[in-house]
Amino acid sequence: MGYIIFGAGGHGKVVLDNLRSNGDDIIGVMDDQWPEGEWRGVTLLGGLDQLDRIVRQYPSSLYIIAIGQNAARKKITTLFEQKNVRFGKAIHASAVISADAYIGEGTVIMANSVVNAGATIGRHVIINTSTTVDHDCSIKDYVHLSPGVHLAGGVEIGFSTHVGIAASIIPQVKIGRAAVIGGGACVIRNIPDCVLAVGCPAKVIKQFEESKE
């Protein structure tokens, strides 16, 4: 059993380092822009047009979708799910994960991050470098927590929301689905679905079209 990464971009580089930090077996990397050759010492297996062949060739492999943008990550994941593949987790060896935390499949947790007791992390979530998720937080599927984000206890983050670099969220705050929290924001009150909130304290400055996800 080994890992196959989809995505040979910047996020893919970090996912690759996560797997290497644990000594995991890496079969190769898929990418539509880099269909063959070698990338960072790993074999390029082909793009999405080769997915059926790759699934047949490596039936016991685990997949990680290494795409930082939430909607794009979900779109690609759905294609892989149709092939009934299995998704792994890419958790850096330096991350501190409570034995009482739940981590969903496909989730990536970068170096020096912390996930504390009672936290629930959904599927295909990104917890980026040096981010902290305190006790009893609930992070839904396809969320991206950027580097240096800090969530206090009991925070809820809705499906496919992106929290910008170094944002902080006080205890028990609820953030809706498909929202964007700006970098450096300090969130002290609940944030609804499909909005952009920025500043300290964070205020809603833009409404997005209702998410179809």
55, 139, 179: which is closest to 203 by C-alpha?
A: 179
pLDDT digits (tens, 9 = 90+) for 127-181: 999 999 999 999 999 999 999 999 999 999 999 999 999 999 999 999 999 999 9
162 is a catalytic site residue: no
Q: What is the C-alpha separation between 173 and 190, in angstroms, rounded? A: 5
How many structural domains does the chain have?
A: 2
Residue 21 lies in a domain: yes
Out of 72, 88, 104, pick the residue that ends a domain.
Answer: 88
Residue 212 lies in a domain: no
* CATH code where residue 21 lies: 3.40.50.20
Q: Are 16 and 39 in contact (CB under 8 A)?
A: no
Out of 88, 122, 157, pick the residue that ends a domain.
Answer: 88
**Same domain flag for 18 and 96:** no
Out of 88, 120, 153, pick the residue that ends a domain.
Answer: 88
**Same domain flag for 171 and 195:** yes
* CATH code where residue 198 lies: 2.160.10.10
**Same domain flag for 102 and 84:** no
Q: Are 102 and 44 in contact (CB under 8 A)?
A: no
Give this prediction's pTM. Answer: 0.95
Read off the pLDDT band of 213 (50, 70, 90): low
Bond into 201 cis (ω within 30) = yes
**Same domain flag for 100 and 193:** yes
Question: In degrees, to the nearest 5, what angle opens at C-alpha 134 toward C-alphas 131 and 140?
Answer: 80
Residue 213 lies in a domain: no
- Show the domain range for 157: 92-207
**Same domain flag for 84 and 118:** no
Q: Are 28 and 3 in contact (CB under 8 A)?
A: no
Query: Is the confidence at residue 211, as pLDDT, over 60?
Result: no
**Same domain flag for 125 and 49:** no
> 135, 144, 150, 162: which one is catalytic?
135
**What pLDDT is attached to residue 1?**
80
3-state secondary structure 13-80: HHHHHHHHHCCCCEEEEECCCCCCEEECCEEEEECHHHHHHHHHHCCCCEEEECCCCHHHHHHHHHHH
